[in-house]
Chains A and B, each alone.
Chain A
Amino acid sequence: MRIEILGSGCARCHGLEASVRKALEMLGKDAEIVDVTDIQQIMAYGVMAMPALVIDGKVITAGKVLSPEEAKKAIVGASA
């Protein structure tokens, strides 16, 4: 599984990343986490609100800092 966090490194983006890491820990799952800060790559996903969560190339949420619980749900939903 490849998880991408889109954003330019602001506080909210780090918040999202922390939640995702915690969620993976809770699930006992291993995944590659990539910070995408390049604007061209971000725009290719068609999102405007940062931070955004992308799992396996699919935009899951935009402009939201998920709680670890929600991140868990998103990861489980994406791997189903």
Chain B
Amino acid sequence: MLTLFADWFTYTLLRLPKGHLITEAIHFFVYDIPKIYLLLVVIVFVVAMLRTWIPAEKIKRLLVHRHQFIGNILAASLGIFTPFCTCSAIPMFIGFVESGVPLGVTFSFLVASPMINEVAMVLLWGLFGARVALLYVGVGLLIAIVSGVIITQLHMEKYVEDYVYMIKVGAAAGDAPMTFKDRVVASWRYVGEIFRKVAPWVAVGVAIGAFIHGYAPENFLARYAGRDNPFAVLIAVAIGIPLYSNAEGVIPVVQALWAKGLPLGTTLAFMMAVTGLSMPEMIILRRVLKPRLLATFIGVVGVGILIVGYFFNWVL
């Protein structure tokens, strides 16, 4: 149906000749934007609904005293459904550690939460296709799980700031029970909140895509940062770590890099570095982690992202 609309809009309404470059670019634009917006509304709504059943408090209860692997896998998977707001990072960290969630499990959650979420999934799906979206999620989960397991193995509990263990966490107030209607209303409002925030970025991303789609890419990035440059992934990750953006904001950039010939592994590694590790997040985490643990966290996740980048460049 969307294809029909796009056909009608481009060829009939604007009377543009078929096969012409500008026509194809416009067609792409008219088709892709509604498609992504539609996906965005549907998927964000579904995830928001699910989320009303799993508040932070319940996640904590699910993770308390879990052992390795199972705990890490569960934590990383739950991280997908939790929107990550840097302002909640510290309270969540303290709440988890305080109530007996193992440190490594807490880290699995901390890595997965900002890196993978439903909005990133929709955008990757819309702009790069299902295969890339699923790869991103799968690999993100893997990094979150493995990083958590490594941090557990290193027994770094003593490198959490001492005051964290001293904080008295009050008894959690249970949220008022929600009716089904409450859930729908709250989820719908969340869709609005996300949509307003993401919609402009999607337009930018698609515009870049449409432009490049119509005007055939000049593979200038491929020449400098292509598969045969062994340092490309390293440089992409090094640039990405201090940068801060949520997944929504970085996707237009990622789309442009990819379209200009950056290999997929390098592109995904860059995106993961930007979303998964960032300067503001480190400054915030420094308040609860001693430098050694913070450095280990950055090191483990950073190396994980590097491996992923090289692996994809090699396999794909």
Query: What residues of chain A have their CB less than 8 Å away from a CB belonging to chain B?
Result: 7-10, 12-13, 39-40, 42-51, 58-59, 61-65, 67
Contacts and interface: CB of A to CB of B under 8 A. Distances in A.
A8 B87 contact: yes
Interface stretch (B36-44, B148-156, B170-178): B170-178
Given A44-B169, A48-B92, A63-B88, 16 more contacts: A9-B87, A10-B87, A12-B85, A13-B87, A39-B167, A40-B163, A42-B91, A46-B95, A46-B169, A46-B171, A46-B173, A47-B173, A49-B88, A51-B87, A63-B56, A67-B189
Contacts of B90: 8, 39
Contacts of A51: 87
B99 to A, nearest CB: 10
A39 B94 contact: yes
A45 B170 contact: yes
Interface of B is mostly: helix
A17 B90 CA distance: 20
A50 B189 contact: no
Interface of B: 55-57, 60, 85-88, 90-92, 94-96, 98, 163, 167-173, 175, 186, 189, 193, 287
A12 to B, nearest CB: 6
15 contacts: A10-B86, A13-B87, A39-B167, A44-B168, A46-B171, A47-B91, A48-B91, A49-B91, A50-B87, A50-B91, A58-B173, A62-B173, A63-B55, A63-B88, A64-B186
A6 B249 CA distance: 27
Contact of B94 (A7, A43, A62, A65): A43
A48 B287 CA distance: 16
A13 B287 CA distance: 20
